[in-house]
Amino acid sequence: MKKNIFSAIQPNGPITIGHYIGVLKKWLVLQEKYNCFYCIADLHSYTDILSEKKFYILDILSILLSLGINYRKCIVFLQSHINEHIKLYWLLNCCSYIGELKRMTQFKQKVKEKNHKIINCGLLNYPILMAADILLYDSHYVIIGKDQIQHLEFTKIIAQRMNKLFNNKIFNLPKYILSSCSKIMSLLNPSKKMSKSDINKNNVIYLLDTPDLVSSKVKNCITDNDFPPRIVFDVINKPGISNLLNILSNISNISIYELENKFIGYSYKEFKKIITNKINSFLFLLQKKYFFFRKKEKFLKNILLVGKFKAKQIAQQKMFWIKKWLNYF
């Protein structure tokens, strides 16, 4: 039988090239061999609702279709369409400890970023909702970026805790599939991950950026002062150049090793120009499809309804069994 794969993307900003390389490329490949549940995790984005109220649900769906995600093969759905996520979330909440949530690296980073000011409870409980997403669909594998590994480990811990508590195998213990071997970093600060919610837009290449924008962002991105210039992959000493090599390798499907050889003797300016052209020709094709799909709102909403119908059946059945194990009736 085909195994289940779960993955999700938050609709809290337009999609970046980092997200494409990091996660969505894997979504595309794996849809051929597995039962894939691809979720637009809007409930997770509520954690920003006090400062940011825009959601990009149909934009993201259009991007997924443009990249080649096949909504007939996979279950593509909106998290808030399925109430069972909240039901299971609450149950898991009651079986999680505040201490383990407070120790999560992502939570600690958010607290630091927000300068300890407004920390809403959603930020603390975020991993529990993620665990509910995953466990509701008996996921065997979860596609995540490196930064989410800790959340997946937490999911396994709660799943085991519940299984032990009820002396039963209520939940599958999911394994993770790492989306990409190396993260795509921010352009001006290559020690930080490229993130769609970055305040400085010059750190990020979005899939919907115009050619001029891409050109100026790449031109201004951080490299180093090596003389003569050396285009080699060395994350510690040359984080900026390594990040560009990583982007180029993923967009062109040429190995970093081959690229290093190809660019011997090139200046950073020439190197950046080639990257800009490569990114722009990739985005040109993608955007053409995107604008075609994005205009068809009825069609897009219908895809989400089809996804809702399919996901709901599975989620409802899982909740039915969970309640039975809990001796609810």
Active site residues: 110, 193, 196
Q: Determine if 223 is a binding residue for ligand TRP (CB under 6 A).
A: no
* Cβ-based nearer residue to ligand TRP, 19 or 238: 19
Smallest gap from residue 196 Cβ to ligand TRP (A):
10
| Residues of span 8-27 touching ligand TRP by CB under 6 A | 8, 10
Our CA angle for 75, 78, 80, nearest 5°, is: 135
Q: Which residue has tokens 């995107």? A: 290
Q: Determine if 290 is a binding residue for ligand TRP (CB under 6 A).
A: no
* Cβ-based nearer residue to ligand TRP, 92 or 144: 144
Q: Determine if 162 is a binding residue for ligand TRP (CB under 6 A).
A: no
Q: Determine if 41 is a binding residue for ligand TRP (CB under 6 A).
A: yes
Residue 163: C-alpha distances to residues 36, 130, 159, 169, 311 (Å): 24, 18, 6, 5, 23
Q: Which stretch binds ligand TRP (CB under 6 A): 67-75, 88-96, 141-149, 265-273?
A: 141-149
Give φ, ψ of 76 to 5 degrees.
-100, 120
Smallest gap from residue 82 Cβ to ligand TRP (A):
12
Q: Determine if 7 is a binding residue for ligand TRP (CB under 6 A).
A: yes
C-alpha count within 13 angstroms, C-beta hemisphere, residue 310: 18
Burial class (CB in 10 A: 0-12, 13-18, 19+), 235: middle
| 38 in Cβ contact with 74 (< 8 Å) | yes
Q: Determine if 148 is a binding residue for ligand TRP (CB under 6 A).
A: yes
Return the residue of 26, 44, 156, 272 that touches ligand TRP, per CB under 6 A. 44
Other residues' Cβ atoms within 10 Å of the Cβ of residue 153: 12
Q: Determine if 304 is a binding residue for ligand TRP (CB under 6 A).
A: no
Nearest residue to ligand TRP, using CB?
8
The two tokens of residue 131 are: 């665990």
Q: Determine if 134 is a binding residue for ligand TRP (CB under 6 A).
A: yes
Site string for ligand TRP, 52-91 (x = CB under 6 A): ----------------------------------------
* Of 161, 113, 117, 109, residue with least CA distance to 135: 161
Q: Determine if 142 is a binding residue for ligand TRP (CB under 6 A).
A: yes
* Of 26, 15, 22, 24, residue with least CA distance to 247: 22
Q: Across the chain, how many H-helices and E-strands are there?
A: 14, 5
| 312 in Cβ contact with 81 (< 8 Å) | yes
Q: Which stretch binds ligand TRP (CB under 6 A): 7-15, 70-78, 158-166, 283-291?
A: 7-15
Q: Which stretch binds ligand TRP (CB under 6 A): 1-9, 95-103, 232-240, 267-275?
A: 1-9
Q: Which positions lie near ligand TRP, rule CB under 6 A? A: 6-8, 10, 41, 44, 130, 133-134, 142, 144, 148
